[in-house]
Amino acid sequence: MRGSLCYNGKKIMLTPGIQSVADGLVADLQCRSIGDNAEFAVLYLKNIGNTNSGQITAVKTVDLNIPCSQKPQYHSLRGDSKGAESFMPIDFTLTESYHEEPKGGRSSCTTGFPYFDLSYDGKTDVFAIGWTGQWSKDIFPTDDGFCVQIGLCDCDFYLLPGEEVRFPSVLIVHGKDAASARRSFRRTLREEFSPKKRFGTDPQLPVAVQCFDRYFYAPGSDLTLDASWATEQGQRRTIEAASRIGQIDTVWIDAAWFTKGYAGGVGNYTCAEGFPNGLQPVSDYAHKNGMRFLIWFEPERCDIGTQWNAFEPNLLKIDETYPHTLVNLGDDGARQRMTDNLIRLIGEYGIDIYRQDFNVEPLPFWRANDVEGRTGITEMKYVAGLYKMWDRLLATFPHLLIDNCASGGRRLDLELCMRSVTLWRSDTGCHPDGTEYRTSIWNHNQILGLSEYIPYHACAIWEPDAYIVRSSATQGIACNFDIFNPNFDFSLAQKSIGEVQQLKHYWNGDFYPLTEATLDESVWSAYQLALPDSGAVYVFRRGHSNDSKKVFSLNALDADKQYRLTFTDENFNSWEETHSGQALLSGLEVSIKTPRSSMVITYREA
């Protein structure tokens, strides 16, 4: 690893370890190896002098010149934009300089995705950026290969005496071909840079029934709701309906529990009128019925006129007319007060899964609050403060699971993935599958793209039929079912959600895309999950496909062994077959007679 910065206009290369730069400025490029094929680095700068440092610009945690004999192939994904393009692949040959950054200060929003790989000379390097803000990556050809630089977009500042700041962390996993390198990367992320490292086992993503604020319900959802819905009694009914399904392990209250609700009430921490006894009775009832309790928070944002907006003296503002402020997590006092508030509520309400959302672009706030000559300082301190807040929550509640949301999957960088899972990979989950929102197809593509990099992610469904549930399901799922409707098909929900529970452990194995991500509705979509001696294959015949049969070559099998396969069709009818590993490696024919139908195939060594 090697980094760089410019000090008073002069470029200085940084090597691993503590390094004196000039005038009391010290750089600490902390590097470590993971196994024999991965490296991790994070950079800190500190002014140990008695006066302000000189001007610091163009700080790069990674500044690598990589020699190669051919132009590298670049692969990554688009950021989340709540639409058809969310997490779709980007592939090109590097022939000229390429710059990328996210939109608005959220690390995987629209124009940027913090994971990518470069293939050259028979090898592949997979990169992950850990920065929950406005990172930048620049890749450009050199005389003998190419250069990769990873740093911050806003970076023109000086440090006060005793002041310290940190910069993006970077993980690099080295492999051979791109597909195997991504699998190695995903395993490294899962074992070393995810909640599994803290728990000692894979985190249990929830199979949840969900309660939203009415603000979220999209036209076409047609849910059967009444006045008791967002109340203590309504949530007891929800838990009872979830128990009737029988496979739900979590009750999830989103932005529906606090005074004024999502539309204007973000920043209120007292319960709405429907919860006069707080949330503990709901939590107790969920626990009594064998379910975990998940609650939505958005602690960084405060609407004007809310309790926290009036209480907190250190808020970031754009101007007096803007309807939101941000709690300044870069200020020790502001962060401490908010963290204490969250610790109190998590303990008081018996929260098992803490969901943190973030529905505003922070970059304008950060830039508006930088002082002259200190561009980027507000962002650096804020992002470091966010990590400190989460780390304190996890230290206080060792078994707490954090769900990372930001208008969907717009903050999926390495640092947050180390501390959390992603239960809402895109706000495409806010809408039922329909003519405008093709969410089943978008879910296929999101799974095909994200699962090559990120081991834990999930999203929502609105109907219990097999095609819709299978299109979204991973280790977990959020169910926005019409469970108050007297005609709701509980029997179908029992089958489809029961299957999610039966299959979820396969997602902790290796991921193999069997088709490409595409918006074409006339094709099939498929992917394979492989554990050492078993696995599962999800196959979808999309709605406009004229093909009733397809052949898929499976992976990670022993050609000399026999495998017992169980096929389960769209109607949950099952049958078994035995095939040799060699035959499955060569190609398994799958028949689906009806368009917009699915098949799940599990296999195990015979």
pLDDT digits (tens, 9 = 90+) for 506-551: 999 999 999 999 999 999 999 999 999 999 999 999 999 999 999 9
Same domain, 488 and 520: no
Taking alpha carbons only, the member of 271, 266, 368 closest to residue 323 is 266
- How far CA 430 is from CA of 22, 206, 359, 461, in Å, comes to 52, 17, 14, 9
Strands 477-479 and 207-211: parallel
SS3 256: coil
Phi/psi-derived region of residue 42, left when phi > 0, alpha when psi is between -120 and 50, beta in every other case:
beta
Q: Look at the block and give the residue holding tokens 């999502």.
A: 262
135-152: pLDDT as tens digits? 999 999 999 999 999 999
Same domain, 426 and 490: yes
- At residue 168, φ and ψ (nearest 5 deg) are -55, 145
Same domain, 42 and 176: yes
Phi/psi-derived region of residue 209, left when phi > 0, alpha when psi is between -120 and 50, beta in every other case:
beta
Q: Look at the block and give the residue holding tokens 């019409």.
A: 482
Same domain, 486 and 349: yes
Q: Which two tokens stand for residue 100?
A: 């990328």
Q: What is the CATH number of the domain that holds 570?
A: 2.60.40.1180
Q: What is the CATH number of the domain that holds 169?
A: 2.70.98.60
The C-alpha atoms of residue 279 and residue 258 are separated, in whole angstroms, by: 10
Strands 353-356 and 292-297: parallel
What secondary structure does DSSP assign to 141-156, as a single string? E-SSEEEEEEEESS-E
Same domain, 106 and 7: yes
Same domain, 42 and 117: yes
385-411: pLDDT as tens digits? 999 999 999 999 999 999 999 999 999
Strands 89-93 and 73-77: antiparallel
pLDDT computed for residue 215 by the predictor: 44
Taking alpha carbons only, the member of 255, 252, 254, 277 closest to residue 267 is 255
For residue 220, the cross-strand partners are none
The C-alpha atoms of residue 584 and residue 418 are separated, in whole angstroms, by: 36
CB 563 within 8 Å of CB 555 = no
Same domain, 483 and 354: yes
**Looking at the 3D structure of the chain, how many domains does it have?**
3
Same domain, 356 and 497: yes
Return the ∠ at Cα 478 (arms to 476 and 484), rounded to 5°.
140
Same domain, 323 and 364: yes
Q: Look at the block and give the residue holding tokens 């090697």.
A: 2
Q: What is the CATH number of the domain that holds 426?
A: 3.20.20.70
> 0.95 cut: is pTM over it?
yes
Q: Look at the block and give the residue holding tokens 């047609």.
A: 222
Domain range holding 363? 202-507
> Among 198, 216, 235, which residue terminates a domain?
198
For the chain, which ranges sit under pLDDT 70? 212-229
> Among 166, 181, 198, which residue terminates a domain?
198
The C-alpha atoms of residue 29 and residue 18 are separated, in whole angstroms, by: 7
> Among 484, 507, 530, which residue terminates a domain?
507
Answer positive or negative: Cα dihedral of 227, 230, 233, 236: positive
Q: Look at the block and give the residue holding tokens 């996993």.
A: 173
Same domain, 496 and 521: no
Same domain, 89 and 209: no
CB 50 within 8 Å of CB 478 = no
Return the ∠ at Cα 91 (arms to 90 and 95), rounded to 5°.
125
pLDDT computed for residue 213 by the predictor: 52
SS3 343: helix
Taking alpha carbons only, the member of 601, 511, 589 closest to residue 553 is 589
Same domain, 157 and 11: yes
Written in H, E and C, the secondary structure of 484-533 is CCCCCCHHHHHHHHHHHHHHHHHHHCEEEECCCCCCCCCCEEEEEEECCC
